C-alpha cells in the first residue's frame, strides 16, 4: 500500500504557533500539555485574570488531541451497569450527567469562540458483534431511560441497514446526543481561544521535574524544563498518555495504549451514503474494538487497537495491514478504495478504566479518558482549572479511588501490554 504516514486531520488546518521569547521567572499557574485538557484549562485560568504559561514538549495539539477519530461521545468507557455496581447509583448519575454536560460544553466553546471544526450532533451508533452484546444494549437502554432519564434508540438487526451498510452485526444502539468534530481544527481553535484570553503557550518546552518551593513568602513549585526554570503558585498536568516521570506517582497510574487509524481516499457520495447513511460515529462492542466514521470530505476513517504498544513506524505499518483487513471484512465495498493516510497515537487508560481529576502531591491533574477525551478532556480541564482559581470543585471523578498496579509491578515501562492485548482477544472470542 502506498500511503502517507501522517495524521490526515493536520492537512485540514493551520495550527497556531506558540509564544516566542523566554519564559517568565514566575507565573500564577503552569499548565503542562497543549492538548484539549491543557488548552481548555489555560483558557479558563486566563479568563479568571491569572497569569498562565502552557508548556508543551512538542507542538500545539501534537498528541492525541489531533490524532483521534473526532468522536464527541456520551458515556464513559465502562457501561452504566458496571459503574452503578462499583460506585452506587447516585454517583453514577453524576458521572453520566457530566458526560452529557461535556458535549454541551464543547458545543458552547465552539460557538463562543467561532471555531470552524465541523462540529455536528450526528449521534453515535454502537454495533453488536454477538447476540449477547445486543441483549446487553437492550438492558442498558432500559436502565438509562428509567434511572438516568436519557433516551437511546435500540436498533434491531432487521433495522440496521438504515444505519450501516454491513450485514456483520446483530443490532445496535444509537445515542443521538453524541457528535462528530474535526479534532485538529478544534484543538487549533482552543489554542487561539486560550491565547486570546491571555495564556502564553511555549512549544518545544519539555518539563523534566516539578519541585515544591517558595518565592517571596508564597508557596508553590519550581518547574524545571528545557528553557530553564519557572516558579508557579500552582501546576496543572494535562499530558494524558504522554505523561512521563515528571510526576512519578501519576505516571505509575496511567497505561499508555496505542490506537491506530487509517483514512481512505474520498468516497463517492453514493458509496459513502451506502456505508453510513446517517453519518453516525460508529464503534463496535469488542474490547479490542474498531471505530469508524466518514470525514467531512467523505473519506472512511477507520481505527482501532490494532497494536497495544504506542505508535512507531513499525507498529503503524503492521496496524495498517490489520485495520485494512478488518475494514474490508465489515465493508467489502471498499476493496478497490485506496488508503491515503495512516497514523497512530497514544491513549491514556487507567487501571480502573476511569477518568480521574484532582490533586496529587499538591499538583493538579486530569487524565484517563480511555478514548472519550474530546469531550471529557475539555470539560475536566475546565473543572480542574476552576478549582485552581478557587472555585468549587464539582467534578464527580475527584474523590473516587485512583488505583495503580498491584504490588508496585509497574513503574516505568508498561511491560504487561502484550499480555493485556492477548487477554482482550480471548475475552472477545469467548463472550
pLDDT digits (tens, 9 = 90+) for 8-20: 999 999 999 999 8
In a domain, 350, yes or no: yes
The pLDDT value recorded for residue 312 is 73
In a domain, 427, yes or no: no
User: Strand 300-304 vs strand 363-367: parallel, antiparallel, or unpaired?
Assistant: unpaired
Mean pLDDT of 335-351: 94
pLDDT tens digits, one per residue of 263-274: 999 999 999 999
How many domains does the chain divide into? 1
> In 10 A of CB 271, how many CB atoms?
16
* Contact by Cβ (8 Å): 356, 397: yes
Mean pLDDT for 43-61 is: 98
Looking at residue 119, its pLDDT comes to 98
In a domain, 2, yes or no: no
pLDDT digits (tens, 9 = 90+) for 108-144: 999 999 999 999 999 999 999 999 999 999 999 999 9
Residue 270 within a domain: yes
Residue 414 lies inside a defined structural domain of this protein: no
Question: Residue 429: is its pLDDT beyond 70?
Answer: no
pLDDT at 364 over 70: yes
User: pLDDT over 90 for what percent of the chain?
Assistant: 83
**Could you report the per-residue pLDDT of 186-198, keeping only the tens digit for each?**
999 999 999 999 9
| pLDDT at 417 (0 to 100) | 52
Per-residue pLDDT at 426 exceeds 60: no
In a domain, 422, yes or no: no
* pLDDT reported for residue 427: 46
**323: domain CATH number?**
3.50.50.60
pLDDT tens, position by position, 238-268: 999 899 888 889 988 998 888 899 999 999 9
Local confidence band at 307 (pLDDT 50, 70, 90 cut-offs) = low
Query: Average pLDDT, whole number, for the chain?
Result: 92
Phi, psi of 153 (to 5 degrees): -115, 115
pLDDT recorded at residue 423 = 41
Helix (H, G, I), strand (E, B) or coil at 155: strand
What does the pLDDT look like over 410-421, one tens digit per residue? 656 664 555 455
Q: Is residue 426 part of a domain?
A: no
Q: What is the DSSP string of 328-387?
A: HHH-GGGTTPPEEEEEEEEEEEETTS--EEEEETTEEEEE--TT-HHHHHHHHHHHHHHH
Q: What is the pLDDT of residue 411?
A: 59
Q: How far apart are CA 119 and CA 334, in angstroms?
A: 26
Cα–Cα distance measured from residue 148 to residue 100, given in angstroms and rounded to the nearest whole number: 11
Angle between helices 183-197 and 373-388 (to 10 degrees): 20
- Looking at the domain assignment, is residue 424 inside a domain? no
Percent pLDDT > 70 in the chain is 93
| Across 53-66, average pLDDT | 97
Determine the pLDDT at residue 309: 60
Find out whether 63 and 240 touch, Cβ atoms under 8 Å. yes
Q: Are 235 and 221 in contact (CB under 8 A)?
A: yes
What are the backbone angles phi and psi of residue 260, rounded to the nearest 5°?
-130, 145
Instruction: Specify the pLDDT at position 422.
Output: 46
Q: Report yes or no: 236 and 365 within 8 Å, Cβ to Cβ.
A: yes
pLDDT for residue 428 is more than 60 = no
Q: Are 99 and 375 in contact (CB under 8 A)?
A: yes
Q: What is the pLDDT of residue 223?
A: 98
Q: Say whether pLDDT at 64 is over 80.
A: yes
Contact in structure between 37 and 380 (CB atoms under 8 Å): yes
Categorize the per-residue pLDDT at 315 as very low, low, confident or very high, splitting at 50, 70 and 90: confident
* Contact between residue 290 and residue 278 where contact means Cβ atoms under 8 Å apart: no
Instruction: Of 158, 147, 151, give the one whose Cα is nearest residue 90.
Output: 147
Q: Write the CA distances from 309 to 49, 79, 253, 368, integer angstroms.
A: 41, 25, 17, 17
Q: Is the pLDDT of residue 424 over 50?
A: no
Domain enclosing residue 158, as ranges: 8-408
Amino acid at each position: 500500500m502506498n500511503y502517507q504516514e501522517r495524521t490526515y486531520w493536520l492537512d485540514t488546518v493551520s495550527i497556531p504557533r506558540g509564544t516566542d521569547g523566554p519564559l517568565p521567572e514566575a507565573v500564577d499557574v503552569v499548565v503542562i500539555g497543549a492538548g484539549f485538557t491543557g488548552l481548555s484549562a489555560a483558557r479558563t485560568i486566563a479568563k479568571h485574570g491569572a497569569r498562565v504559561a502552557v508548556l508543551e514538549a512538542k507542538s500545539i495539539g501534537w498528541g492525541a488531541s489531533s490524532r483521534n477519530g473526532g468522536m464527541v461521545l456520551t458515556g464513559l468507557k465502562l457501561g452504566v451497569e458496571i459503574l452503578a455496581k462499583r460506585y452506587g447509583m447516585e454517583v453514577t448519575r453524576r458521572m453520566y450527567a457530566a458526560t452529557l454536560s461535556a458535549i454541551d460544553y464543547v458545543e458552547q466553546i465552539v460557538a463562543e469562540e467561532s471555531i470552524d471544526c465541523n462540529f455536528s450532533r450526528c449521534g453515535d451508533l454502537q454495533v453488536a458483534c454477538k447476540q449477547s452484546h445486543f441483549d446487553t444494549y437492550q438492558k442498558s437502554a432500559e436502565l438509562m431511560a428509567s434511572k438516568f432519564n436519557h433516551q437511546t434508540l435500540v436498533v434491531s438487526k432487521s433495522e440496521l441497514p438504515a444505519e450501516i451498510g454491513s450485514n456483520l452485526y446483530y443490532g445496535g444502539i444509537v445515542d443521538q446526543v453524541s457528535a462528530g468534530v474535526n479534532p485538529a481544527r478544534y484543538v487549533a481553535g482552543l489554542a487561539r481561544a486560550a491565547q486570546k484570553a491571555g495564556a502564553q503557550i511555549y512549544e518545544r518546552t519539555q518539563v523534566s521535574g516539578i519541585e515544591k518551593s517558595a518565592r517571596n513568602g508564597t508557596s508553590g513549585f519550581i518547574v524545571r524544563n528545557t528553557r530553564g526554570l519557572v516558579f508557579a503558585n500552582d501546576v496543572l498536568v494535562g499530558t494524558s498518555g504522554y505523561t512521563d516521570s515528571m510526576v512519578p506517582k501519576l505516571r505509575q497510574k496511567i497505561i499508555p495504549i496505542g490506537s491506530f487509524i487509517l483514512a481512505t481516499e474520498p468516497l463517492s457520495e453514493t458509496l459513502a451514503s451506502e456505508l453510513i447513511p446517517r453519518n453516525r460515529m460508529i464503534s463496535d462492542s469488542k474490547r479490542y474494538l474498531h471505530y469508524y466514521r466518514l470525514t467531512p470530505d467523505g473519506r472512511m476513517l477507520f481505527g482501532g487497537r490494532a497494536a497495544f504498544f504506542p505508535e512507531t513506524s513499525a507498529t503503524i505499518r503492521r496496524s495498517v495491514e490489520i485495520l485494512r483487513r478488518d475494514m474490508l471484512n465489515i465493508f467489502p465495498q471498499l476493496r478497490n478504495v485506496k488508503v491515503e493516510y495512516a497514523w497512530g497515537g497514544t491513549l491514556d487508560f487507567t487501571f480502573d478504566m476511569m477518568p480521574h481529576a484532582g490533586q496529587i502531591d499538591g499538583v493538579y491533574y486530569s487524565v484517563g479518558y480511555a478514548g472519550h477525551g474530546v469531550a471529557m478532556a475539555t470539560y475536566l480541564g475546565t473543572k480542574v482549572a476552576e478549582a485552581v482559581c478557587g472555585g468549587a470543585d464539582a467534578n464527580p471523578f475527584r474523590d473516587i479511588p485512583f488505583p495503580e498496579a498491584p504490588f508496585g509491578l509497574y513503574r516505568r515501562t508498561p511491560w504487561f501490554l502484550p499480555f493485556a492485548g492477548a487477554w482482550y482477544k480471548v475475552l472477545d472470542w469467548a463472550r
